[in-house]
Amino acid sequence: MSSDESPRRIVICMGSSCFVRGNNRNAERILALAQEAISRGVIQVSGTLCQNKCKQGPNLEVDGACHCGVDAESLPQLLESALGTARVPGA
């Protein structure tokens, strides 16, 4: 990543509905898959409280775009397609 590029941002909804629907596990998986990219400053991961899309959860945002219904099966593909340029190994 060059010095003028901003890091890619992942925001994980940790509201109670998304948390129990799987974002607790999604957060762990994202941190494990993207550890190298996070340490290089290519990706920033943070949590937020409710994103007001509870019925569609678990939800997360990638660079401001909301992704709903993210489960363990769809998460690696989402990371690869959304963050492919950030080189997330194993995604």
Mean pLDDT of the chain: 87
Residue 27 located in a structural domain:
yes
What are 24-52's pLDDT values in tens digits?
999 999 998 888 888 889 899 999 999 89
Q: How far apart are CA 73 and CA 59, in angstroms?
A: 14
pTM (2 d.p.): 0.84
**pLDDT for residue 82:** 77
* CATH number of the domain bearing residue 19: 3.40.30.10
The total domain count for the chain is 1
pLDDT, mean of residues 58-65: 95
How many DSSP H helices and E strands does the chain contain? 4, 4
E strands, the chain, where? 8-13, 43-48, 60-62, 65-67
**Smallest Cα–Cα separation from 91: which of 20, 37, 24?**
37
Residue 91 located in a structural domain:
no
Question: Domain residues for 20?
Answer: 10-86
Residue 4 located in a structural domain:
no
Residues 58 and 13: beta-carbon distance below 8 Å: yes
